[in-house]
Structure formats: C-alpha cells, structure tokens
Amino acid sequence: MKASNNFFRLETRLQSQAGKAIHDFNMIEDGDRILVCMSGGKDSYTMLSVLLALQKRAPVKFGIIAMNLDQKHPGFPEDVLPRYFESIGVEYRIVEADTHSIVKEKVPEGKTTCSLCSRLRRGVIYRTAKELGANKIALGHHRDDIVETFFLNLFFGGKMKAMPPKLATDDGAHVVIRPLAYCKESDIATYARAMEYPIIPCDLCGSQENLQRKKVKDMLHQWERETPGRVDNVFRALADVVPSHLMDTNLFDFRGLATGLAKVDEASLFGDSSYEQAALVFSHSSENRIEFIRPSERRPLVSGA
Ligand code: SF4
C-alpha cells in the first residue's frame, strides 16, 4: 500500500489538511519549538509524521521534540517509542510519572478516572515543555474528536463549544495546537495501518472508554452511514457561526438592535425549510412602510405597514 497511488494521495491529503489548519489558525511561527505529545496511538504517530514532512518544506523554521509520558500503566511497553524515535532520528524525551498510582489511590473504585488522569498529565506536559524550552505543544486530536466534543458539550453540558484548534494555556506560558484538526479519523486510521506504526494499545490504564463519548461516536457513524457528508457539514458549521441567529447576548448585541437598515435572511424570517440563502434588506419606504427587498433586484418583495 505504501508505494501505491492511493497511499500517496492519502498522505498528500493529510499533509495539505494539516498545512491548511496550521495556516488558518497561525499555529506555527518562525523560531517555534514544538513539543509533540506522543501516546503511541495512531493519531499521535500520524501527527509526528505529518509535522516532520511539513517541517522540511515550510517557509518558516521550527523545531520538533517528541515526548512520551510513561504513566506507569501496567504492561506499558516502554521500549517501543524510544526505538521508534531513534529509527526516524527525531529528538525526543521520555518522561516517567506514576500518575496511574495516584489516580488509583484518589479515585474511588467504579468512578471514572479520566478527569484526574488528564489533569495530572497536563501538568507534566506543561512542566516538560517549560524544561525543554518548547513554546508550543502539539496534540493529535482530529476532526472527529472535535465534532464528538461539540455534541458532548451540547447534549450533556448545555454549551455550544467544541475543542479549539489552538489555545493558550491558563498561565499564558504555552500555546496548544492541534495540527490534525481538519483530518478525518478514518484517513488517519488507514494511513497509520499503511505506515505500520508500532501502536501501543490504549486500554492499558484499565479505564472503561468514556461511555458518553462512545455513544456520540456511534451516533455520528450511524448518521454518516445514513446521510454521507453530514459530519462534514457539522464540522464546517463550527467555522461558520452566525451569532445574530443564536441567542447568546454576549456574542451579539440584540438589545442594541433598532429599526433602520439591517440584513436578514429570508429563510429565518419566514421559516423557509429550503434554507434559500437570499439576503434581503428591509427598510422604511418613503410612505413609512417596511419593505423587504432582494438586494440584486432592488424592488419590494413584500411590504406592510
Ligand atoms: S483512558 Fe486511561 S489514560 Fe486515558 S485519560 Fe482515562 S484514565 Fe487516563
């Protein structure tokens, strides 16, 4: 597969999607030193390969250092990642921190361990970035992680928020980037299989997969089977938000809206299910009547007192 045209197309697609995300969100700048977080899963291996390829031809100079946090999960194969890093000649650091014992000790049996585990892991990653002089931290989350997080927050948190492609850490010391934000999980999985990465299983911690996330993942898979392209649409919508058609008064000044010239869309005015995107302008006519005018036609469509 690695020598085939399909593989070449897939690799090109992943690199160009990552390149576009990096450009759109200004993720990487000249002189950056990027700590690339490696769990040993398909996403992190793919991210490292893509970043190394982009590094060779990027117009800016940036450094890469791969990092793995050995959390002392039972059965963790500690020689796999160092061997891989050495085989590809990338600078790396393995950090050992027994977060597993802390989580086992602090979290009661049967309760989910992921939130404390991720907090501890985040702390170690930030400290390591500081020690190694890395100003950026790269994580391997992809398009499907972002859409799943959006629905998790929507269904269980009552919030419209997903997973940002770029964010500053609370202390402002680092910027976290997600270069695979535009890449599909299925593409990453196919690429990782073709690359024959030495994958480390993700269930060594003994924690059950987050049940709610699994349900959302299953829901998205079913949608995609029934209506191909729907997940892409949801993903596109995350980058095309219309605050005036939502209800967050912090994002749009509804109270300040007054009569006069304003742009609206026909679908939202009349509940048109065809979602025709014709923008209308409504204004007061000389006879003090409200007129709805299609901008291209400049003649009243509907009018009323
Ligand atoms: S799945 Fe395991 S390693 Fe991952 S965050 Fe949860 S407890 Fe930690």
> What are the DSSP calls for 103-145, one per residue?
HHHHSPTTS--HHHHHHHHHHHHHHHHHHHT-SEEE----HHH
The CB of 200 under 6 Å from ligand 1? The reply is no
Nearest CA to ligand 1 atom 6: 114
**Residue of higher predicted confidence among 239 and 272:** 239
Question: Would you say residue 264 has pLDDT above 70?
Answer: no
CA gap 112, 175 in Å, rounded? 28
CA gap 21, 128 in Å, rounded? 25
The confidence score (pLDDT) of residue 252 equals 96
Q: Render pLDDT for 205-239 as a digit per residue (tens, 0 to 9).
A: 877 667 889 999 999 999 999 999 999 999 999 99
Please choose, from the candidates 266, 267, 262, the residue with its C-alpha nearest in 3D space to the C-alpha of residue 282. Answer: 262
The percent of residues above 70 in pLDDT, for the chain, comes to 84
Q: 195 vs 190, 191, 287, CA distance in Å? A: 9, 6, 71
Q: Could you identify the atom of ligand 1 that is nearest to the CA of residue 113?
A: 7
The confidence score (pLDDT) of residue 271 equals 61
Please choose, from the candidates 142, 120, 131, the residue with its C-alpha nearest in 3D space to the C-alpha of residue 73. Answer: 120
SS3 151: helix
Quote the radius of gyration of the chain (alpha carbons, Å): 24
Assess if CATH 3.40.50.620 describes domain 5-210: yes
Question: Would you say residue 166 has pLDDT above 80?
Answer: yes
**Residue of higher predicted confidence among 113 and 240:** 240
The confidence score (pLDDT) of residue 279 equals 38
Binding residues: 114, 117, 205
Ligand 1 pocket mutation, candidates 98, 107, 117, criterion most atoms within 8 A of CB = 117
The confidence score (pLDDT) of residue 160 equals 97
Q: Where are the domains of the chain?
A: 5-210, 250-304
The confidence score (pLDDT) of residue 265 equals 61
Q: Render pLDDT for 21-74 as a digit per residue (tens, 0 to 9).
A: 999 999 999 999 999 999 999 999 999 999 999 999 999 999 999 999 999 999
The CB of 114 under 6 Å from ligand 1? The reply is yes
DSSP string, 6-68: HHHHHHHHHHHHHHHHHHHTT---TT-EEEEE--SSHHHHHHHHHHHHHHHH-SS--EEEEEE
The CB of 116 under 6 Å from ligand 1? The reply is no
Q: Render pLDDT for 130-149 as a digit per residue (tens, 0 to 9).
A: 999 999 999 999 999 999 99
The confidence score (pLDDT) of residue 295 equals 42
The token duo for 113 is: 């361990």
The confidence score (pLDDT) of residue 284 equals 42
DSSP conformational letter for 156: I
CB neighbours of 144 closer than 8 A, spacing ≥ 6?
184, 185, 217, 220, 231
pLDDT grade for 170, boundaries at 50, 70 and 90? confident
Binding residues for [4Fe-4S] cluster: 114, 117, 205
Question: Would you say residue 274 has pLDDT above 60?
Answer: no
The percent of residues above 90 in pLDDT, for the chain, comes to 73
